[in-house]
Amino acid sequence: MTARSLRIALTVLTVAGLGIAGYLTYVHYAEVQPVCTAGDSCIKVQSSVYSELAGVPVALIGLLGYVSILGLLLARESENTRFAMMALTLVGFAFSGYLTYRELCSIHAICEWCATSAAILTVMAPLSVWRYLRDAPTLPTPGASHSLERPPAGRSRLYST
Amino acid sequence: MSRVKVQLEPENLTRKQRRDHARARRKALEEAEAAATVRQARLRLLGIVVAVVVVGIVVVFLAAGGGAKHGIPASKAEQSSVVHEVSDLVGGIPQRANVLGVPTAPVTLQYFGDLECPVCRAFTLSALPSIIGRWVRGGELKIEYRSLETATREPEVFKAQQLAALAAGRQDRMWNFIETFYHEQGEEDSGYATESYIQGIASQVPGLDLMRWTSDRGDATLSNQLVSDGQAASAANLNGTPAFLIGRSGGTTSKLEPSSFTEPGSFNEAIAKLAKS
């Protein structure tokens, strides 16, 4: 998978997650019933004490997370953006894992929107870790002793993996 | 692991060419070392991120934990605070068996719950007080509490706790018992609903004759009521708690599916509509 196709895949996943988190945030503030094929499971999850963290709706936290990730994907790619992206997706993955545990073991109801978002982050987390680790760093050049940027296109690579 | 590609040196190279080759090889090795260093730095950062994330989740798990205090408070002052809160909510409202509200109220809401269900707790502590204050106190609604086993793992535990509530209803104090139970609900799956816990809840219900309550808990009529509640839930296709049936008192009921269990909006709309009809 090329760096470009990986970035596109991550962007598509992020946009999907953004849509879900945006919808759940709307549902929370508009106090409307979420579309749910599994009866009132989504309402139970949305109404549970676990739907907020320190008074902030977890849907809003997710929305902000996805917006940040999308911003990083659309920004000029660098070592820092790849690192931040990896860190954010790992945080998102762990948090959605915690929420899924609460759904299964505390609320006894699964919100399909939340489950889909968790699945998206489960795919994104390893992809962003792989993206961060796999890209070859730029070799040190005079005047830029710790540059980790990718080599310019066309530059020969002296090593392979 | 990086591998350096090095061309073999022909033996007939000039001194300058050998020097160039040596320089290129040295440069390649330096670059490979630099790349390995960067990768190690990345792996180290990844390890730090993973550690921070794990610590963060543990903190959320322990601190958030639903954001609720669990179980019967240890101090008498805290217990007294719960008793006052419950008395303020249901005090002065007629109770009879499992019903809260005046018998002539035009609208009846059946609330199917499991005393160990955390979502029922959220509903009882968030949306229900507003519904009671506005509609039950106003004489337009009565609420019937009915039992449906969902969150409680052990059928025997479910039976014991729900029968304890129904037995309090024999003294028209079921709603005090229910409210106190939900206020002091323990951590799910912790096995907190022991006999001692149930008696602790009962002891916080003002005016409850504990001797009589203990005796009533073994009444077969109450056990039959539990069975009847379960059958009513099945007939209405209710498979989770909290669940609600609503209708004109004495008439047919229909399932109420609120948009939220913590906001009273959907309940207010349904009750207002039925009260006018």
CA–CA gap between residue B98 and residue B142 (Å, rounded): 10
ipTM above 0.90, yes or no: no
Contact A159 B119 (CB under 8 A): no
Contact A44 B28 (CB under 8 A): no
CB B215 within 8 A of CB B202: no
Distance from CA of B2 to the nearest CA of A (A): 5
Look-up: residue for tokens 């009750």?
Answer: B271
CA–CA gap between residue B77 and residue B68 (Å, rounded): 18
Distance from CA of A128 to the nearest CA of B (A): 11
Q: What are phi and psi of B23, to 5 degrees?
A: -65, -45
Residue predicted with more confidence, B159 or A102: B159
**Tokens in use for A110?**
């699964």
CA–CA gap between residue B210 and residue B199 (Å, rounded): 9
pLDDT the model gives residue B98:
97
Give tens-digit pLDDT for B175-233: 999 999 999 999 877 889 999 999 999 999 999 999 999 999 999 999 999 999 999 99
CB A132 within 8 A of CB A85: yes
pLDDT the model gives residue B10:
59
Percentage of chain B with pLDDT > 90?
69
Among B75-84, B115-124, B128-137, which stretch is predicted with the lowest mean pLDDT?
B75-84
Enumerate residues 22 to 51 of chain B having a beta carbon within 8 A of any beta carbon in chain A.
Answer: 28, 31-32, 34-35, 38-39, 42-43, 45-46, 49-50
CA–CA gap between residue B245 and residue B133 (Å, rounded): 20
Query: Once rounded to an integer, what is the mean pLDDT over residues B229-240?
Result: 93
pLDDT score of B264 more than 60: yes
Give the pLDDT means over successive 10-residue stretches in chain A (161 positions).
Answer: 89 97 91 78 82 88 96 92 95 94 84 94 96 67 43 40 31
Interface test with B, best of A32, A44, A90 (most B CBs within 10 A): A44
Give tens-digit pLDDT for B99-110: 999 999 999 999
pLDDT the model gives residue B78:
82
CA–CA gap between residue B234 and residue B236 (Å, rounded): 5
Residues in chain B: 277
Asked if the C-beta of B60 comes within 8 angstroms of chain A's C-beta atoms, the answer is yes
pLDDT confidence tier of residue B69, bands split at 50, 70 and 90: low
pLDDT the model gives residue B71:
79
**Tokens in use for A46?**
């949305």
Look-up: residue for tokens 């505390």?
Answer: A106
**Tokens in use for B2?**
């990086």
Query: Once rounded to an integer, what is the mean pLDDT over residues B54-80?
Result: 76
Residue predicted with more confidence, B21 or B115: B115
Asked if the C-beta of B263 comes within 8 angstroms of chain A's C-beta atoms, the answer is yes
